[in-house]
């Protein structure tokens, strides 16, 4: 049996978020999460975190925004780390690997900026595939009620060590 030729990767452009992208990113996030997004525990973090547009990533097909991953600077146990989210891909464009590419690019940008870890709140069933794992025990503490199994961390370097402490302002 002969092997099928590999599918070419879809033509998308990944770029860090520019000021003029903000409205399109906000609209995509609103479509993906609906009004309930403000009740999320991650939203409490974003109220005090420092937005990092240079680490945030947008996926474009021409002028059309297909996905986004926003990044924020916070402190966990005295260490400066990045917090990821919201993260969304436009309905109709999902399951094509764009999400995984956005996460990979955001983590590369954070590593290149000297960050040690990325923290997020999400499903380990998804984020486990892209390098994240549940913070052991209650090591990383969110500033509000959260299912602790959804508090996920990815170390960006081999010697980054474990994170421990409250997610707090920089």
Least distance to ligand COA from the beta carbon of 111, Å?
A: 19
Least distance to ligand COA from the beta carbon of 78, Å?
A: 26
132, exposed or middle or buried, with CB in 10 Å at 0-12, 13-18, 19+? buried
Least distance to ligand COA from the beta carbon of 38, Å?
A: 14
Closer of 125 and 158 to ligand COA (Cβ):
125
d(CA 138, CA 157): 22
Least distance to ligand COA from the beta carbon of 125, Å?
A: 4
Binding mask of the shown chain, residues 65 to 104, with x at each position contacting ligand COA by CB under 6 A? --------------------x-xxx----xxxxxxx----
d(CA 165, CA 108): 24
Q: Identify how many contiguous H helices and E strands the chain contains and give both numbers.
A: 4, 10
CB 57 within 8 A of CB 14: yes
Nearest residue to ligand COA, by Cβ distance, number only: 99
H or E, element range at 147: none
Q: Under rule CB under 6 A, which residues in 126-145 are in contact with ligand COA?
A: 126
Residues forming the site for ligand COA (CB under 6 A):
32-33, 85, 87-89, 94-100, 122-123, 125-126
């Amino acid at each position: 049996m002969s092997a099928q030729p590999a599918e070419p990767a879809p033509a998308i452009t990944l770029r860090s978020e520019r000021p003029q992208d903000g409205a399109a990113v906000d609209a995509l996030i609103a479509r993906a999460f609906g009004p309930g997004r403000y009740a999320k525990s991650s939203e409490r973090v974003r109220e005090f975190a420092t937005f990092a547009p240079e680490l945030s990533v947008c996926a474009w097909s021409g002028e059309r925004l297909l996905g986004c991953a926003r990044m924020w600077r916070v402190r966990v146990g005295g260490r400066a780390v990045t917090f990821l989210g919201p993260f969304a891909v436009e309905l109709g464009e999902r399951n094509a690997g764009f999400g995984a590419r956005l996460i990979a690019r955001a983590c590369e940008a954070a590593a290149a900026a000297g960050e040690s870890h990325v923290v997020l709140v999400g499903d380990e069933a998804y984020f486990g595939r892209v390098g994240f794992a549940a913070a052991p025990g209650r090591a990383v503490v969110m500033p509000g009620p959260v299912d602790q199994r959804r508090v996920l961390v990815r170390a960006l370097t081999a010697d980054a060590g474990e994170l421990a402490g409250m997610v707090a302002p920089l």
